[in-house]
Structure 1
Amino acid sequence: MTEGLDVPDRRGRTGLDQAGRALTGNPGVRVRDVRLLACNWYVLRTTTFDYRHADGHWSTQQRETYDRGNGATVLLYDPTRRTVLLTRQFRYPAYVNGHPDGMLLETAAVLLDDEAPEEAIRREAAEETGHTVGEVEQVFSVYMSPGSVTERLHFYAAPYSPATRTSTGGGVAEEGEDIEIVELDFDHALDLVGNGEIADAKTIMLLQWAALSGPFSPTGRRPAP
């Protein structure tokens, strides 16, 4: 008996080796086997599949995939004061891979589980930043690391102001969150991208969107909260 296969793992899941076996969207890919490597919290698998190359020949390949579910993130911006609201928190994976202290400046973000992205990100923005935002705008949805991670991240933006603050924020202490709220002038935030102080991909993408076609672009117009 194996956890995650025929008996529930710590999150109550079984059949975790079935993911991908029924895929039919690409006739040039035939999944042969899926093997579960780990399911401590997220899921690590190795998949064996046949792949048809451009010249018509087939080869058998293997890929490891890390499944942590999908996520959502939101850029909170004040169009009147030209500010953005970010968070700072400790990220061990960044710390162990060369970041000076692991304390990353980021947009608020959440893993979805089975929740709708817009609902989840509105709740998470309130928990992390203390601001209850109104309408959120969907910017785009992307695969952040498609070579090995299955996650699809949904990007949003929403205006905030002093009037939208409803709590102190900082995350949920019971879940171990210890989040600092950081308000930045938008142009200064772009400078921090340039000098490497903002090194989080989702945050950089949303800041660049805001500058190119969003609320701080030459033609950008967004409603105040």
Structure 2
Amino acid sequence: MPKPFQFNANDVTVEKRETVFQGFFRMDKLWLTHARFDGREMPTFTRELFVRGDATCVLPYDPERDEVVLLEQFRLGALGRDQSPWLLELVAGMNEDGEAPEEVARREAEEEAGLTFGHLEKVCDYLVSPGGTTELVHLYCGHTSTTDAGGLYGLEHEHEDIRAHVVPADEAIAMIQDGRINNAAAIIAIQWLQLNRERLRREWVAA
């Protein structure tokens, strides 16, 4: 059997592309074709694509107190499901043109939680839902102090209403296990913390 990744972007032909909606978000429609695994060419087909820039998410972690900071806020996409549409999430923001992910992490930590970071450790980059959107998330864990953390934050003109919670690491892990936290960035970051927690407590406390 051939190994994975035999194709690349050169094996895709976009015959036509047009913007079909431009509001708070943008939607494009594409006519395209691409190579197939059996050697043939895929007939031309259409797809709608949610065009969204890259984002940065960061899990604030205090290794001395063994606590994380999680943000509670309303999310429209969770409305209508058998759960509250107020989710517990990470510090997060969209990357502006030319802005490094680390800059976004530090800016959003101040705006959304009143936090500053020492060391930022990369967790991973991941595509949010590549079947329909362009968004890629840069995910980090940030060294912070939770001593004075918690409270209400958010930018009024951006209609943000955020409550920052200080949560013991064990409780955050339990919320992944029982489904109280069910958004991808938080799940990935907290599970990563579970794997790297003892190392971070050694390295970051010593620093």
- TM value normalised by structure 2: 0.87
Counterpart of 1:101? Answer: 84
Structure with the bigger percentage of helix:
2
1:160 CA displacement: 1.2
Counterpart of 2:23? Answer: 40
1:27 CA displacement: 3.0
1:190 alignment partner, one of 173, 182, 192: 173
1:164 CA displacement: 7.7
Gaps of 5+ in 1: 1-24
Runs of 4+ in structure 1 over 6 Å off: none
1:61 CA displacement: 2.2
Counterpart of 1:126? Answer: 110
Deviations 1:143-184 (A, max 9, x none): 01111010010001111114686x966111232111001111
Distance of 2:178 and 2:147 partners within structure 1: 32
What secondary structure, in the 3-state scheme, does the structure 2 residue paired with 1:223 have?
helix
Query: Relative to 1, partners in 2 of residues 1:76 and 1:222: Cα closer, same or farther, differing over 3 Å?
Result: farther
Distance of 2:65 and 2:124 partners within structure 1: 25
C-alpha RMSD over aligned residues: 1.9
Query: Relative to 1, partners in 2 of residues 1:66 and 1:45: Cα closer, same or farther, differing over 3 Å?
Result: same
- Report the identity percentage: 33
Distance of 1:148 and 1:222 partners within structure 2: 40
Contact 2:57 2:137 in 1 (8 A): yes
Counterpart of 1:78? Answer: 62
1:31-70 → structure 2 map (5 Å cutoff): 31-59=14-42, 60-70=44-54
Distance of 1:79 and 1:209 partners within structure 2: 14
1:146 alignment partner, one of 107, 110, 130: 130
Deviations 1:83-119 (A, max 9, x none): 11110001111113x0522110001100113122111
Distance of 2:144 and 2:16 partners within structure 1: 48
1:223 CA displacement: 1.4
